[in-house]
Structure 1
Amino acid sequence: MNRVIFFISIILSILDCQKANAQKISNYTMASFSDKGVLAPKEWFTGTVWLNMNVKPEEEYNVNIGTVSFESKARTNWHSHTNGQILFVVEGIGYYQEEGKPIQLIQEGDVVKIPKNVKHWHGASHQKSMRHIAMITEVDTDKTEWFEPVNDKDYNAFKAPFYEVENRLSPIAITNHEELWPEYISKVKETDPDLIEIFDNFAFDEVISHDKMDVKLRVLLIMASTIASQGLTEYKMFVHAALNVGVSPIEIKEVLYQSVPYVGITKVIDFIHETNEIFKERGISMPLESQSTTTTETRKEKGLAIQKEIFGDRIDTMYKNSPKDLLHLQEYLSSNCFGDFVTRTGLDVKTREMVTLSFLIALGGTENQIKGHIQGNLNVGNNRETLIDLMTQLLPYVGYPRILNAINCLNEILPNQK
């Protein structure tokens, strides 16, 4: 029992060390690890694989523990161990297969227990790298036997990795989901397959098929709604999705910054921290290039100008009708909300107005502001059809009550001309 506890403590120490000190891998390529070790022998591995022996067989512990870093598509040959093997996946996504069984997806946090004398292989996935810690105990009696390489035909046989939900998801739902999160493995799929079937067939087939909205814009608008909804977990998913489909880090940060005057810094600060963590993982240098176009002296003037561009003469009326003791709020709107934020580059005005409408819809209870920004969207060139598409795409993420309230506002400001 003491020996088992000792081995577990070694593994936990290694995992902690990996988390604390290793640079995170990027989405599609293996980062350069200072501790990645030496290149694995080509006779036993396909592709680029690095080995780092953490605990060597000749040491006193009678255990072999090594960190193995696979670049995308890299893998071991078929092989077996007389004493079995345990894999601790610490980063990335990979594959594991035993002879005669289907390929399994493995990802960070998974523990793979390989039985004694079972012929198997493991390695990285098609698009992402993978890093695991491999452990063999009782090394003095273990024998590893190497066999033939895993050929491309067998390796490529693994298709539609996320959705093995008994073929209950439509091909369109699978394709659209894979576009946003290639090879992502959902834990909810295992525990709540009925929900995955219902939600994904609806959100990634039926809803997306409603219109031809550009995928980058759609992802940005949904991401904006998750900030206002305080859905931090889903927000992180959509930051990854945005980067996966080619949205720039600047565009992501501009949506995040613009949420502050609508949602409040108290609710946004955690989203800023999580975004920065994702950027670090992806190797995106910060701070990003500034998108500011105003100074302390010009922010009110430029803010007022862009307010009038969006809302027209209504702004003059708002200033004229404001009580003196509330006039400062009108000035804050011009100089801060619009001067500090909406004047920034990185997103055009049409996109910013759609992003703002996404915030307001997701917040709920903002019907007066929704009506104003529906008119603002119209003024900058976003017509009724465009706004219906926006509301449709937000539906799975904010729910029916908020969307139906927004539709009522739309019908009041922009009635359908039959």
Structure 2
Amino acid sequence: MTDLNPRQQATAAIAAFTAIGRMPQLRDALTGGLDAGLSVNQIKEILVQMYAYAGFPRSLNALGAFMALLEQRRADGITDPAGDQPRPLAAGTDMRKLGTDNQTRLSGAPVTGPLFEFAPAIDQFLKTHLFGDIFARDNLDWPSREIATVAALATLDGVESQLQSHFGIALNTGLTATHLRGLVTVVRDRVGHAQGDRAAGILDRVLAG
């Protein structure tokens, strides 16, 4: 059982299977997302965002699979709602400032540290592009973006620190501990017990701390 609604469960499954490249399961998850009421543009947003966490190859492959699925559904007489495009930002928007503000709101405090002093370029890319360009796109809300991010990270090896951070960010978007336990259940049931158990242990530490 999970307290995530069907759209949120579908978001988690789509992100998880994109991140690990399980294409047959991804196709099923994409179909489930459309049937649950996710719009075409919302699913595109999930798949595009995944490049920041799982790499361009996974994201591009997933977009190709989604495009093929939509073509098949159109041939079968199914019309899926396109949904909203993100609203354009004001001309002259300072993307570094916008991204820094978004990152601070999501994290609950300014994000600094020796790593970003060691490699300032990655700090710029995170603030300007990930938390600026991507998180400013408002046709997918922040809780949904964090559901996708946590689900993807939960399937990947060696990213426990990032998963822990994003559990905290997810709570800052308004998701509850119950939502996140439900998200872990989706990962365990859809992807595998090992991934779900690992994520559950990290979530327990976040909630305890």
Range class of TM-score, shorter chain: 0.7 to 0.9
Partners in 2 of 1:383 and 1:225 — Cα distance?
20
When structure 1 is superposed on structure 2, of 407-416 and 348-357 the one drifting more is 407-416
> Counting helix residues as a fraction of each chain, which structure ranks higher?
2
Q: Which amino acid is 2:100 matched to?
A: L
Tell whether 2:49 aligns with 1:258: yes
Q: Which residue is equivalent to 2:8?
A: 217
Determine the structure 2 residue equivalent to 1:308: 104
Whether the 8 Å contact between 2:11 and 2:144 is mirrored in structure 1 is no
Q: Which runs of structure 2 are paired with 1:157-168 in the superposition (5 Å)?
A: none
Equivalent of 2:181 in 377, 385, 388: 388
SS at the partner of 1:270? helix
Paired residues for 1:19-418 under 5 Å: 210-283=1-74, 290-291=85-86, 293-294=88-89, 297-315=93-111, 317-318=112-113, 321-322=114-115, 324-415=117-208
Match of 1:150 in 2: none
If the length of structure 2 is used for normalisation, what is the TM-score?
A: 0.87
Report how far residue 411 of structure 1 moved. 1.5
Equivalent AA in structure 2 for residue 349 of structure 1? W
Report the 3-state secondary structure (helix = DSSP H, G, I; strand = E; otherwise coil) of the residue aligned with 1:414: helix
Paired letter, 1:246: G
Deviation of 1:324 (Å) = 4.0
Deviation digits for residues 27-53 of structure 1, max 9, x if unmatched? xxxxxxxxxxxxxxxxxxxxxxxxxxx
- The residue type paired with residue 347 of structure 1 is L
Whether the 8 Å contact between 2:177 and 2:207 is mirrored in structure 1 is yes
2: CA distance between counterparts of 1:243 and 1:344?
20
Unpaired runs of 5+ residues, structure 2, are none
Cα root mean square deviation, aligned: 2.4
Give the ranges of 4+ consecutive aligned residues of structure 1 lying more than 6 Å apart after TM superposition: none
Max radius of gyration: which structure?
A: 1
SS at match of 1:344: coil
TM-score normalised by length of structure 1: 0.45
Once residues 63 and 48 of structure 2 are traced to their aligned partners in structure 1, the CA distance between those partners, rounded to angstroms, is 9
Counterpart of 1:354, as a letter, is I
Structure 1's 289 and 411: CA in aligned 2 closer, same or farther, altered over 3 A?
closer
2: distance between equivalents of 1:292 and 1:259?
20
Compute the displacement of 1:281 (Å).
2.8
* Displacement after TM superposition at 1:250 (Å): 1.3
Is the 2:167–2:206 contact (alpha carbons within 8 Å) kept by the matching residues of 1? Answer: yes
- For residues 322 and 244 of structure 1, the distance between their equivalents in structure 2, rounded to whole angstroms, comes to 43
Q: Percent identity?
A: 22
C-alpha change, 1:340 and 1:292, in structure 2 (3 Å) is farther
The alpha-carbon distance between structure 1 residues 322 and 364, as it changes in their structure 2 partners (threshold 3 A), is closer
Q: Distance in 2 between matches of 1:266 and 1:289?
A: 26
Q: Per-residue deviation at 1:323?
A: 5.5
SS of equivalent to 1:282: helix
* Deviation by residue 1:330-387 (Cα, 9 ceiling, x = unmatched): 1110111111211111211111111110110012221000110111111121122111
What amino acid is aligned across from residue 227 of structure 1 in structure 2?
A: T
**Offset at 1:322?**
4.2
Which protein, 1 or 2, shows the higher relative CO under an 8 Å CA cutoff with sep ≥ 6? 2
Distance 1:380 1:391, change over 3 A: same
Aligned pairs, number:
204
Q: Distance in 1 between matches of 2:23 and 2:124?
A: 32
Residue segments in structure 1 that go unaligned for 5+ positions in a row:
1-209
The structure with more strand, counted as a fraction of residues: 1
* 2:119 alignment partner, SS class: helix
Residues 53-86 of structure 1: per-residue CA shift (max 9 Å, x gap): xxxxxxxxxxxxxxxxxxxxxxxxxxxxxxxxxx
Structure 1 residues 195-243: Cα deviation after superposition (integer angstroms, max 9, x where no partner): xxxxxxxxxxxxxxx2342112111211111101211111111111211
User: SS state of the match for residue 50, structure 2?
Assistant: helix
